[in-house]
Chains A and B, each alone.
Chain A
Amino acid sequence: MALRLPDPTTEPTTQTPPPLRRGFTRRQALAAAVATGVGVGAVRLLGGTIQNITRSSTASGTDWVSPLGRESARVMQLLRRTTFGYSPAQLDAALSDGYSKTVDRLIDTKPAEPPAFAAATTPGGRFAVPQLQQWWIGHMLTTPTPFAERMTLFWHGHFTSDYRKAGNNTFMYWQNLTWRRMALSNLGPMLMQVTTDPAMLRYLDLSTSTGNSPNENYSRELMELFTMGAGNYSEDDVRQSAKALAGWQLPPADSTATITVDKVKMVTQKLPVYSKQRPGVFNKKRAYKGSVTFLGQTSTLDTQGVIDRILAQPATAGFIASKVVEHFVTTRPAQSYISRLADTFRRSKYDMKTLMRAVLTSPEFTADANYRALLKSPTEFMVHGARAVGATSLAKLTATAGSGMGQSLFDPPDVSGWPNNAAWISSNTVVERVNFVTLALAQVKGSLPSATDAARTHLDGVLSPQTATLLNQAPDEKTRWFITLASPEFQLK
């Protein structure tokens, strides 16, 4: 054995060093690291294939050798960036379909509905958030349409809300259903939906704003974070649209239930019960009566009017296109690439399918320069890892382990959602990523699938000398999976 992976029943998460056994020691690890070095290298990978591992490049040291000249590598990258990885059968299917047919299938397949979430009718939405996190992760682990979940996750980070302020976890559940349903629809209706979404009405305070004394929170973030980006509107626009947007309130409940909220002091509360999902309702009495000057035009304006005017701004398409590119293609796009996508998006009248198809079929998506240009978010990393070893039972671990890596679903750090790529890397988060692999492998029920091809199917066979060496030294499947999933290669997409 090389790494002694703890068995959850006998040794949960001990910090004390386990006794050394035969095989891989610290000294060997260090020696291996020293011996391999960096530079142009050819390392013998498992099974005897010679792989060209790294090549010299200027300034920044070495770079990965892109395999994207091969159709199979392009298909694997496509699936890595749009799904949560694949089983051997799923990969075979995609490879036999080829790249463009796989893009069509991803975009045109109707999202599978997640199972109904039973706790949603709890009075006041007072169920524990981990239940909701596990429900969603559970669906990510098993869904036949993972692209829908990746897009739902994207929108959850874009039109974001957190359960703490939303104050009713049923609203958070609804918001998740909404983004899945609308994930590949159209930006216009999505903006109307997010404006009247109950969790959002609470999260950014629109439900307490009035025309007489508007609350600017939603108005500002609608423009800064959801559509145009800072610098494309004035402070006056924020104030004027806050007036125009005022009047929305939470939907009335179907019934109320009297619940004891403090058993010690016997405090009871009348809490709302919702039997089905509803949007916010507009109360004309709270609305602003006059006209406003917003984005250069003066008129009376309702919510749809505000949205239409935002959609008429050239900045909007570019802002959304940039965000999509940062998630799916590269952190350093050429301005011409964004302009091209924005133009396509705007001409399609903000059709998300059109935008996503343009992104996935763009030469930039499969350009060598953008190979491994992105970092998997914690959720992507964990679900991909769990699916790679065929573990569909890791929803609980995956739901809780994300917080140490910086991502707790339904609880974004702030109103800008989660950061991207390089911002996921810190001393705390890298340790937690490795710990997830250790715990996940210990919790997998039954035997692990063969890891012999893992480096080829999950890491494209493009390995650093260190990863290759350690994989070659690994004596068993568990260790091989550990090296594969804990490797830097696997963190990238």
Chain B
Amino acid sequence: MNKEIGINQLKRRDFLRAGLVFGAGAAGLAAGYAAVPDAFARAVYAAKQNGMANDNVLVMIQLAGGNDGLRTLVPLSDPTLHDLRPKLAGPMVSQALPLNADFGLNHNLGGIKSLWDKGKVAIVQGVGYPNPTFSHFESIRIWETGDPTRRQVDGWLGRTLAKAYDSNGHPLTGCACGTTDVPGALRDLQATMTVIQNQKTFGFTGGSEVEAAVGALYKGTPGIYGALFDTAIATANDTITTLRTSSSSYQPMADYTDKVKLVYSSKNQLAAALQLAAELIVTGTGVKLLHVTLGGFDTHYTELNRHDDLMGYLDSAVSAFYQDLAAHGKADKVLIATWSEFGRRPKENASGGTDHGAAAPLLMIGDPVKSGLFGAEPSLTSLDTTGNLKYAVDFRSVYQEILGGHLGADSNQILGGSFDRIPFLKAPVAVL
């Protein structure tokens, strides 16, 4: 698989601007803006282009590996489920937390169920795209770029950063938390974004002299990786400066301890990543687009326990995150949305698991959502030729609502078209 990205697309001008901002930042922390978080945040919002006037924040949670939609939002009344899944269906139906007569949440999503009861959860059913691929990597790329034709290289959130925000010098406008790599959704060579695996250890060992020397070492670096390197170092330095202030002023108001022990440990500590997201949001760093990942959803094997545990893990992390934001008075600004490259095959396999599927529901959580079920219930009896659920909602309809309705961005420009509306937001900020 070739993950190369077109380095030369990075405009030299953009890099040089980033470099100048770094210089200013190192010289005097730009007249102290980083020391005054709210002023810093205001500076970011003031710098926005094209009427991007709100201070809403988006947190995308990737459920990597292909989340089983039928075990997330469980069909309670369709007997076909038991024919398709003789081993898996029984307990998942009997234990589900009913939302209405026909659907219930996975029994480990108790925290999200109580948010549903408070009117803070929207579920979009049957989300997918035409002619689905069953390759993880092709489908991830389609979701990340927002382009089922696979021509687009940049991520949909990366394009949003590049087109809708002026993030020069404000490296946290786009941020991937709890990982080391740039997620594809945020990738755009004309966007500045940062990656923070762990905010407590993010920084140069040896302190500010190393920081300064490295800043000097990575300037005007020649070659195809030069601008990428220089931008990464400049962004890292800006991030260090910002984190220094935010970490000292943030007190978590929720328990982020992982309450579920996974069958095998996850590479991504979701709760820790969301705690970092909360820190960046409540301390006014100007963060707009956050991306976190929870892996382990490729449940070909012994899905019963593994998927339930993953649901519980997701539930406890998201619940703590919401509680923390609410306690800090930021819950009204933040939309939490899940995505996964595909759902899973309705029919179970011999390993007590399920193979790669197609359409699946997405969870939209937070004060901005209009609670309820959206989209359409996929039929278990009318499957496609590969034995998978047919999609009812194009995933770009969901992106469109997020971009236009929540962030106030020009979704048509970012997605290259308009799609059917799925009105899962209480008060969309833009007419779509």
Interfacial residues, chain A to chain B (CB-CB below 8 A): 2-6, 13-18, 20, 24-27, 29-30, 32-34, 36-38, 54, 59-64, 164-165, 167, 204-205, 208-210, 212-217, 220, 224-225, 229-230, 235, 238, 322, 326, 331-332, 372-373, 375, 403-406, 411, 413-416, 419-423, 425-432, 434-435, 438-439, 464-467, 470, 483, 486-488, 491-492
Contact = CB atoms under 8 A, between A and B. Distances in A.
A428 B197 contact: yes
12 contacts: A14-B206, A18-B208, A20-B209, A61-B227, A64-B223, A413-B181, A423-B3, A435-B205, A438-B204, A438-B206, A464-B222, A467-B217
A430 B209 contact: no
B363 interface: no
B219 A466 contact: yes
A25 B3 CA distance: 39
A235 B134 contact: yes
B253 interface: no
A426 B3 CA distance: 14
**Residue with the highest number of chain A CB atoms closer than 10 Å, among B176, B180, B226, B349:** B180
Interface string B95-134: 0000000000000000000000000000000000000011
A20 to B, nearest CB: 7
Interface in B175-222: 176, 179-182, 194-197, 201-222
A223 to B, nearest CB: 10
B56 interface: no
Nearest to B171: A427
B221 A470 contact: no
A33 B239 contact: no
A204 B301 CA distance: 9
B224 interface: yes
A419 B216 contact: no
B135 interface: yes
Contacts of B403: none
Interface stretch (B69-77, B350-358, B390-398): B350-358
Listed from nearest, the 9 A-B pairs whose CB atoms lie closest are: A213-B350, A26-B212, A29-B216, A208-B351, A38-B220, A17-B208, A427-B236, A426-B195, A406-B180
A416 B222 contact: no
A425 B228 contact: yes
A466 B218 contact: yes
A426 B351 contact: no
Given A4-B209, A38-B222, A61-B226, A404 B180 contact: yes
B4 A488 contact: no
**Residue with the highest number of chain B CB atoms closer than 10 Å, among A37, A322, A414:** A414
Nearest to B182: A426
Contact of B222 (A16, A62, A483): A62
Contacts of A435: 204-205
A178 to B, nearest CB: 22
Nearest to A16: B207
Contacts of A20: 209
Contacts of A30: 23, 26-27, 212, 215-216
Nearest to A62: B222
Contacts of B223: 62-64, 372, 488, 492
Nearest to A463: B222
B204 A332 contact: no
Interface stretch (B5-13, B371-379, B406-414, B424-432): B5-13
B232 A426 contact: yes
Contact of B12 (A61, A209, A466): A61
Contacts of B2: 322, 326, 331, 420
A483 B210 CA distance: 10
Given A30-B23, A60-B226, A208-B351, 7 more contacts: A60-B8, A62-B223, A63-B222, A225-B1, A426-B180, A426-B194, A428-B236
Contacts of A38: 220, 222
A18 B210 CA distance: 10
B228 A431 contact: no
B197 A404 contact: yes
A375 B229 CA distance: 11
Contacts of B163: none
B257 interface: no
**Residue with the highest number of chain B CB atoms closer than 10 Å, among A33, A37, A63:** A33
B252 interface: no
B224 A373 contact: yes
A214 B135 contact: no
B386 interface: yes
B206 A5 contact: yes
Given A60-B12, A64-B223, A422-B5, A414 B301 contact: no
Contacts of B7: 60, 422
A15 B353 CA distance: 46
B264 A214 contact: no
Contacts of B4: 326, 331-332, 420-423
A33 B216 contact: yes
A18 B206 contact: yes
A430 B350 contact: no
A217 B303 CA distance: 14
A242 to B, nearest CB: 9
Contacts of B219: 33, 36, 466
B336 interface: no
Contacts of B176: 426
A322 B27 CA distance: 46
A464 B356 CA distance: 48
Contact of B300 (A61, A215, A422, A428): A215
Contacts of A373: 224
A27 B27 CA distance: 7
A164 B176 CA distance: 23
Interface in B11-25: 12, 23
A3 B206 contact: yes
A491 B208 CA distance: 22
Nearest to B218: A488
B180 to A, nearest CB: 4
A164 B225 CA distance: 33
B219 to A, nearest CB: 4
Interface string B24-44: 001100000000000000000
Contact of A215 (B64, B206, B301): B301
A427 B240 CA distance: 10
B206 A6 contact: yes
Nearest to B262: A164
A209 B207 CA distance: 53
Contact of B229 (A33, A37, A209, A488): A488
Interface in B353-368: 353, 355-356
Given A420-B4, A466-B219, A434 B204 contact: yes
Given A209-B350, A428-B197, A224 B236 contact: no
Contacts of B212: 25-26, 29-30
Contacts of B8: 59-60
Contacts of B195: 426-429
B194 A427 contact: yes
B181 A465 contact: no
Contacts of B300: 204-205, 215-217
A426 B424 CA distance: 34
A103 to B, nearest CB: 25
B233 interface: yes
B48 interface: no
B265 interface: yes
Nearest to B12: A61
B350 A215 contact: yes
Nearest to A31: B216
